[in-house]
Amino acid sequence: MDFKFTEEQLLIQEAARDFAKTELLPGVIERDEKQEFPKEQVKRMGELGFLGMMTSEQYGGSGMDTVSYALVMEEISKVDASCSVIVSVNNSLVCWGLEKFGNEEQKQKYLTPLAKGEIIGAFCLSEPEAGSDATSQKTTAIEHGDHYIINGTKNWITNGSTADVYLVIAQTHPELKHKGINAFILEKGMAGFEIGPKEQKLGIRGSDTHSLIFNDVKVPKENRIGDDGFGFKFAMKTLAGGRIGIAAQALGIASGAYELAREYSKVRKSFGTEICNHQAIAFKLADMHTQIEAARHLVLKAAWDKDQGNNYDLSGAMAKLYASQVAMDTAIEAVQIHGGNGYVKEYHVERLMRDAKITQIYEGTSEIQKIVISRALLNK
Ligand code: CAA
Ligand code: FAD
């Protein structure tokens, strides 16, 4: 067993840490307050190769492994989880899905600019009546000559208004249930493709979340990903890897909150001593650190499984389930350690607490992760 990172992994971790400190931290409070999309920061992340980390170099990516990706996700999430969800969707849902299952033409046309960060992508599975119950897709894709005609609504789509390329899941053969579902590549600006209003959110407020409405959108047949009926498998296989990214995001939020709380506890005084000298506070730090380390092991194990070619459905779901709980618990305790200052924006921990909650909801809620985990354990 080897718990050491490679030189390349350490270098990319350091690059992400520097970037987060120098380019994300200034302005993070303001972007959160104004729900402002981090346009400049996303451009820079593209230049640094963070938007196509696991994509092969031949398609404009950085050709790195999943462990490196998890390290970058953690560092960015320590400071700005709105930015890291953009990294996560573009890398593990859009670029990975296209490289793994797209054809050569689709890769040349869409994957290369996405991996270079010249454009960004969105992954559109959830609907008003099909969130956790993802096979209940109501959006339809009906074959019509050399096209499909798409009708329906998607909900809560990350990069909803800022993406250029949208991977859209829709039902073609309802009688076949999930085996009739397809995945398509849509472009912004296609006739009949409307972007709904921006959601007003509790956390990750810099990330733009929208509903999408499709009214007779004509999509060429060559934009279908994989064989007819492959769409649900496409979504599930892609999400299995996506969950490792969100687990790393949760780990980052937890680590960021913990580090702020630890430093604060060494300077804030009460009853004539720094608050870290009160055992109640020191024990909170001990619990936080222990849980974060446990989450880190699960996250890196899942990433390593993916890199080794092992099945990562189970390890990825366990990593997301546990790390998201640790993110929530740690962020709440970090606010507590900051006392009144924890409740005001300039100390950052209240934002981390708001951002933590989404990691228990998107890419499969905690209850859904338990379904995935228990089915794997029981071979169901
Ligand atoms: N890999 C390959 N195939 C898989 C799979 C996987 N990991 N998981 C399921 N499947 C296949 C099954 O094998 C089955 O196919 P066959 O019949 O051919 O065997 C098919 O998918 C249906 O599976 P189930 O019968 O298990 O389906 P279910 O209705 O019981 O649902 C579920 C399973 C795991 C609950 C699934 O619906 C699910 O994951 N729900 C959560 C949806 C989700 O995560 N949404 C996230 C949206 S994206 C997002 O959120 C992005 C963001 O925020 C940034
Ligand atoms: P529901 O499915 O209605 O669930 C409600 C509650 O019931 C939850 O607690 C759930 O765990 C529980 N529940 C449901 N079924 C079961 C069951 N069988 N057993 C036990 N408990 C159950 N989706 C995309 O496709 N693309 C995106 O880019 C995207 N980005 C998002 C960004 C944000 C900020 C948000 C809030 C959501 C995003 N989503 C996205 C949607 C997200 O994936 C869904 O919200 C999530 O999968 C849950 O679906 P739901 O909201 O419909 O909840």
Sequential pLDDT tens for the chain (380 residues): 889 999 999 999 999 999 999 999 999 999 999 999 999 999 999 999 999 999 999 999 999 999 999 999 999 999 999 999 999 999 999 999 999 999 999 999 999 999 999 999 999 999 999 999 999 999 999 999 999 999 999 999 999 999 999 999 999 999 999 999 999 999 999 999 999 999 999 999 999 999 999 999 999 999 999 999 999 999 999 999 999 999 999 999 999 999 999 999 999 999 999 999 999 999 999 999 999 999 999 999 999 999 999 999 999 999 999 999 999 999 999 999 999 999 999 999 999 999 999 999 999 999 999 999 999 999 98
The reply to whether ipTM tops 0.90 is yes
Tokens (6 digits) for 261: 């709380």
With a 6 Å cutoff on the Cβ, whether 82 touches ligand 2 is no
Measured from the Cα of 237, ligand 1's closest atom is 1
Distance separating alpha carbons of residues 74 and 17, to the nearest angstrom: 9
Which secondary structure element, helix H or strand E, spans residue 300, and what is its range? helix 279-308
Q: Ligand 2 mean position to 92 CA, how many Å?
A: 18
The CA-to-CA distance between both ends of the chain, in Å, stands at 31
The predicted pLDDT at position 285 comes to: 98
Question: Does the C-beta of 136 come closer than 6 Å to ligand 2?
Answer: no
Report the C-alpha gap between 5 and 279 in whole angstroms: 34
Show the tokens assigned to 2.
């080897």
Q: Where in the chain is the domain with CATH 1.20.140.10?
A: 233-378
Beta strands 224-225; 181-187: pairing state: antiparallel
Strand partners, 166: 122, 186
CB 188: neighbour CB atoms within 10 A?
15
Task: Give me the pLDDT at residue 35, please.
Answer: 98
Q: How far apart are CA 310 and CA 67, in angstroms?
A: 14
Architecture category of domain 122-231 in CATH: Beta Barrel (2.40)
List where CATH 2.40.110.10 sits in the chain: 122-231
Q: Are 232 and 170 spatial neighbours (Cβ–Cβ below 8 Å)?
A: no
The pLDDT of residue 74 is: 98
pLDDT confidence of residue 380:
82
What string of H, E and C letters represents the secondary structure of 248-296?
HHHHHHHHHHHHHHHHHHHHCEECCEEHHHCHHHHHHHHHHHHHHHHHH
- According to the model, what pLDDT value does residue 121 have? 98
Nearest atom (ligand 1) to Cα of 375: 26
Question: Is this structure's pTM higher than 0.95?
Answer: yes
For the domain 233-378, what is the CATH code? 1.20.140.10
- The Å distance, Cα 232 to ligand 1 centre, comes to 7
Half-sphere exposure of 319 (CA within 13 A, CB side): 32
Instruction: Give me the pLDDT at residue 58, please.
Output: 97
- Which segments of the chain belong to CATH 1.10.540.10? 7-120
How many residues does the structure list for the chain?
Answer: 380
Residue 55 has phi, psi (to 5 degrees) of -80, 145
Question: Which ligand neighbours the alpha carbon of 246 most closely?
Answer: 1
Based on the residue annotation, tell me whether 350 is a catalytic residue of this protein: no
What per-residue confidence (pLDDT) applies to 361?
98
Measured from the CB, is residue 157 less than 6 Å from ligand 1?
no
pLDDT tens by residue, 189-237 = 999 999 999 999 999 999 999 999 999 999 999 999 999 999 999 999 9
Question: How confident is the model at residue 254, as a pLDDT?
Answer: 99
Write the DSSP symbol of residue 346: G
CATH of domain 7-120: 1.10.540.10
For 348, phi and psi rounded to 5 degrees? 70, -25
Q: Render pLDDT for 324-362 as a digit per residue (tens, 0 to 9).
A: 999 999 999 999 999 999 999 999 999 999 999 999 999
Evaluate: CB of 313 within 6 angstroms of ligand 1. Answer: yes
Bridge-based pairing of strands 121-124 and 165-171 is parallel
